[in-house]
Structure 1
Amino acid sequence: MNRNFRTTVLALATSGVVALGSAACSSEEVIDAVAAGSDAGEGNEAAVVTEPRSGLLEFIAPGEFSIDGEAFFVTEETQILGGLNACPAEDGLDENGFGVVDCDLESLEAAVQGGAPVYAEAEVEEPGNALSITEYDNDRQAEPAPGAAPGEGAAGTDEAPEGSAVVRGELEYIAPGEYMIDGTAFFVAEDTVIYAGVYACAGGVQDPDTGDVICDFDEFDATLANGTSVMAEVQVVEGVAESITEY
C-alpha cells in the first residue's frame, strides 16, 4: 500500500503548476498533476502514515473532497468502491453495508454533488492523498455485527439491549484487553468473538462454511500492542465487546 504520491495538489498550486479550483482544471488534470509531482518522491523509503476518515463526503474541487472538514485528494491509484448512491448497482453492497462496485472519479464527483448523500470511509495517506474511498450505507451502521440473527440484539431480543452501540474505526490500544474507537473505550471478554484475517491473524484459516477467520485474543492483542493499524466494527454492550470484526 506504499504509494509514491508525495506531492499534493495544494503544493503544486502554491508553486504555480496547478490552479486549484479553476473551472479549467478537470478531474483528470488534477490526477495528472498529482502523478507528475510524485516523481520527486521516488526512492523515499519513509514510513507511510495513514488515517481513516468516515462520514459524509463533501465536494471541494475536482479531485478533492472532505469528511468532517478534513480535506484529501484523489489520485489515479485511489481505489473507489461504491454501489449505493455512488455508482449505484443491484447488490452493490456487501453484508456489512459497504460498497463493492468499482467507481470512477467522475461518477463519484457527480454523486457527491447530486441530491443523495454519499457516506464513505477514506484511508488517507500523508500528505493527504486517499488510498481508498469506500461508500457505506449509513442507515445500516446500527445493525448487529456479523453472527447475530437479523433483527436480534445481543440477548436475542427484537431490539438492541440498552447500553449497546456499534462503533467503527481504527482501534486504539489502551491496555491488554482494553481498546478504544473514536473515544469510546471497551473491554474484551472471554466470549468476545473476534473476526479478523486482514492485519490481525493475517493468513488465518477461514471457516469453510462462513469464510470467517476467527482470531485468538492473544494474537489480536499483540497485533494492536505492536502499533499495527487495525480497522474494525465493534458491537459493544455495557462497555464490553460482544464481537470485533476487522475490515
Structure 2
Amino acid sequence: MPAAPSACRSFRSASRSKWMRSSRLRADPLDPGRQGFAHRGLHRWPEIPENTLTAFAAALELGAGIECDLRLTADHRIAVYHDADGKRLSGRDDRLIDCTSADLSQWDVAGKPVPLIEQLLWLVDGRVPLLLEAKVEGSELWNMLAALRHAVANYRGRFGIMSFDPRVSRWLKTNEPGWQRGLVIQDALPPMKRWAALRLADPTFASVQVAALGKPWVAKLRKRMPIHSWTSRTRDDADKVRAFADAAIWEADGRP
C-alpha cells in the first residue's frame, strides 16, 4: 500500500542524502551495493520470465544481486522455481515435488527452461551476492536442506539462505554456522509468532516485507542484523527501503 504523502516526503528527503545505514558496527556480508537484489532475477513477462537463467543474466549485466526461489524435486535436486506447481508459469498441473529434474527439463516457462541451482551458481560464479529462498512444505524440509547443503558446498561466491520457515535457519546455525542465514518475515505475522520465529531461527539477517518498514520492531531488529526488504515495486517503496533497510529486493519501478 502506498505510504501517506507526508511519509513519502520524509522518505524522499532521506533518499537525497547519504544512503542510510543502521547503527550496527558490522557490515552486511551480503551487501549488493546500490543496485540491490533483483527479485527472481531481472524479469519482465513474457520476454524474460522470472527465476530463469535469462533473468539472472540480465541482473548480472546490471550489476545487481540476485534473489531467487528454490524447490526440491522428486529426485532430491534443487530447482530454481517459485510456485509449488506449474499452473501459473507453465500451464501444468504437476506439483514440482512430484517431478524429477528430468521431468522439469520438459517444462516450458515462456520459452525458457526451469534451471537447477547448479546452473545458477555456474552462471553467477561469485560476481554478485545471492539470496536463496528455500520453499519447504512439511516433510520436505530435511531432504531439501541436505540437497541444498550439497549443492552449494563448494560455491565460493557470497550467498545467504533464507526461508519463512525458521527451522531452516536453525538447521543452518547447527550444521553450517559460517553461512549467512535469514528469516523471511511478513508484516502481518503476529508479534508473538514473530518473536518465536526469530528466537528459533537465530538468523544473521532478516528479509522483511516493505509494509513493515518504519515500525519500531524493524528498527530494533536492524540494530542486530542487516535488513533486506521485499518486494519493492514502486518509487515510494524504494524510498522507504532506502530510509529503513539495508538493501532492496526489487522489481519493476522499485529499483533503488
TM-score normalised to the size of structure 1? 0.26
Structure having the higher Rg: 1
The answer to which structure has the higher strand fraction is 1
The answer to which structure has the higher helix fraction is 2
Higher relative contact order (CA closer than 8 Å, sequence separation 6+): 2
TM-score normalised to the size of structure 2? 0.25
